[in-house]
Amino acid sequence: MKDKISVKPDTIYLEDLLNDIANGEYKIPIFQRDFVWKPSQMLELFDSILKGYPIGSLLFWDTKGYKTKDEIGPYLIQKESSSARYVLDGFQRISTLFGVLINPKEYTETSTVDLKDFSIYFDIKNNSFSHIRNRKDENVFSIPLYEIYDNRELFNFIRKLEKEDITEILKNEYIDNARNLHNILHKYRLPFVEIKGGDIKSAVEIFSRINSTGTDISEDFMLSALSYNQETGFYLSDSITAFLSSLNIYNFEDLKRGTIVDCISNAKGKIYFDVKMEDLLKNIDLQSVTNNAYKHVRKAVEFLYKKIFIVDIRLMPYPTQLIFISEYFRLNLEPTSEQYKALENWFWVTTYSNYFTLYSLSQQRSAYQVFCEFAKGEHHDGIYRVNSDTSFSTAKYPSKLNFTGVRPKALQLFYLKRIIDNNELQDKEGIKEIFIFNSLKKERPPANIILRLSSEFEKYQEKKQIKSFIETSSIKDLEKHFITQEMVDLYKQNKTEEFISKRESYLKLKEREFVEKMGISYVVVPEKSV
């Protein structure tokens, strides 16, 4: 059962927010990135406040247990509060406001950040803001914003200004400009949303829906704050980043971070969606479990790359397949060649049968249990069937070849299997799409696309052009690309429609033969009668 959660929108005076931050009532979780704003962004923030423009909503999370940073802007916040809330969205804005408006004379606990980075000045003549790092660039009409904000500092500034040799009219105008900004800063209200309770998953979901910056946050960053080990320096999100980078030899570096977390979750012996993120920290060494999970994920990726020929992560039909296969290698460290063949068959059946979209959550749990039995050699094919009469069928043949659906991906993988089977793939192998007829490029029908390996494409320079490839390749090589002698003749005669029609029929025929060997019904949509 999910922890009770509430989401409450509200507003807070800027003055109260800064006081609360100084008192340790708002904390920066360790998964937040460092302060990265440029002076231009800081200036724009204060210009928006001066003009009364909104500067976006803040997002706080009222929960406990996360490691936090002490630094906000150029200052260290070492006070603790029993009611501290975590800043999920708005850290850059909060750092700017706190760093610029807090009087450095009264706040001696500084961080490693240079105070000069927060030296924002207000020009009382022009009602404008500037970033001044060197004191020599200052003038009597520019005042640090903390002096505008601080009552005593503003009073002292006004007394100095009154001694300047300028007309009373201008003097009063400049003083009014300073006082106006002072009042705006103290009366400015910031909207915020506060999450109370809930778990990591719900906080991530809420963040992704309402954060103002468009920046995604993933579960592993939040989980990192809970699991950070100061002794070992283990930080989960950095670990995942490094691991994903190592998968680039298989073109899997863009694998979703959440998929990695799901693979780690399987260490609890339950299907990943039944494991709460917080549960990963109970009674286990997360660093050790994570490093073990990487070994299984790498084996899964290597299997998908070398045996299924997924040479690009975009060709992965279901992320769940990778999660299951990772679990397979956790339970079966050294599969036999026969077991590898059975795992390949499991992949193709689950791909062509829409396996992971057919079942309810409870049925997916059953499918997971059956798969675990399969990994241990206790089930013949790892396919869960609701009853003995359960039958599977394909989705209809795709009208376009792309990376946005399981069915087009299945056809491309079947194509790659035909041209690569029994061959060793090179590291970082890719695929090249070659269009036979440019006039059909936008429609992207499968019969108009030839898939070639990037290494093979670069090796045979003379066959890079489609005309040369079709007219000079052997029929044996062309057959691998579903091109017959009859099609070659049609191509030479520039009979586009006849060529596409023949090749589509041939593609369907060969795919059907492959699919029906697995006991899956091949769906054929009747052609419309003219």
Interval 18-54: pLDDT, tens: 999 999 999 988 777 788 899 999 999 999 999 999 9
Q: Which residue has the higher pLDDT, 413 or 459?
A: 413
Does the global pTM surpass 0.75?
no
Q: What is the pLDDT of residues 399-453, one digit of tens each?
A: 999 999 999 999 999 999 999 977 778 888 889 999 999 999 999 999 999 999 8
Residue-by-residue DSSP string for 147-202:
HHHSHHHHHHHHHHHTTSSS-HHHHHHHHHHHHHHHHHHHH-EEEEEEEEE--HHH
Q: Which residue has the higher pLDDT, 235 or 260?
A: 260
Q: How far apart are CA 163 and CA 225, in angstroms?
A: 54
Least confident residue range of 122-126, 314-318, 460-464 = 460-464
Percentage of the chain with pLDDT > 90? Answer: 61
What Rg value do the Cα atoms of the chain yield, rounded?
31
The predicted model gives 311-324 an average pLDDT of 96
Spell 347-377 as b/e; 16+ CB within 10 A means b: bbbbbbbbbbeeeeeeebbebbebbbebbee
Binned at pLDDT 50, 70 and 90, residue 530 comes out as very low
The DSSP bridge partners found for residue 168 are: none
Q: Which two tokens stand for residue 131?
A: 């970033």
**Contact present, 82 and 31 (Cβ < 8 Å):** no
Q: Answer whether residue 367 shows pLDDT above 90.
A: yes
Q: Answer whether residue 380 shows pLDDT above 60.
A: yes
Name every residue whose Cβ is closer than 8 Å to that of residue 386 and which is 6 or more positions away in sequence. Answer: 359, 363
**Contact present, 92 and 36 (Cβ < 8 Å):** yes
The predicted model gives 88-110 an average pLDDT of 89
Highest mean pLDDT among 143-152, 156-165, 257-266, 455-464: 143-152
Give the Å distances, CA to CA, from 181 to 108, 120, 178, 232. 25, 14, 5, 48
Residue-by-residue DSSP string for 491-502:
HHTT-HHHHHHH
The DSSP bridge partners found for residue 8 are: 194
Q: Answer whether residue 470 shows pLDDT above 50.
A: yes
**What is the reported pLDDT for 528?**
47
The DSSP bridge partners found for residue 143 are: 122
Q: Which two tokens stand for residue 116?
A: 């000069």
Q: Answer whether residue 227 shows pLDDT above 70.
A: no
Q: Which residue has the higher pLDDT, 458 or 71?
A: 71
The DSSP bridge partners found for residue 130 are: 121
Q: How far apart are CA 30 and CA 233, in angstroms?
A: 13
Residue 219: Cβ within 10 Å count: 24
Q: Which residue has the higher pLDDT, 383 or 139?
A: 383
**What is the reported pLDDT for 109?**
72
The predicted model gives 366-378 an average pLDDT of 96
The predicted model gives 67-92 an average pLDDT of 86
Binned at pLDDT 50, 70 and 90, residue 529 comes out as very low
Binned at pLDDT 50, 70 and 90, residue 520 comes out as very high
Binned at pLDDT 50, 70 and 90, residue 1 comes out as very low
Candidates 277, 244, 281, 243; CA nearest to 262 is 277
Q: What is the pLDDT of residues 250-289, one digit of tens each?
A: 999 999 988 999 999 887 788 888 887 667 766 578 888 8
Q: How far apart are CA 224 and CA 234, in angstroms?
A: 9
Q: How far apart are CA 217 and CA 240, in angstroms?
A: 14
Highest mean pLDDT among 59-73, 128-142, 163-177, 205-219: 163-177
**Contact present, 239 and 80 (Cβ < 8 Å):** no
Q: Token match 């020929």: residue?
A: 309
Q: How far apart are CA 145 and CA 187, in angstroms?
A: 15
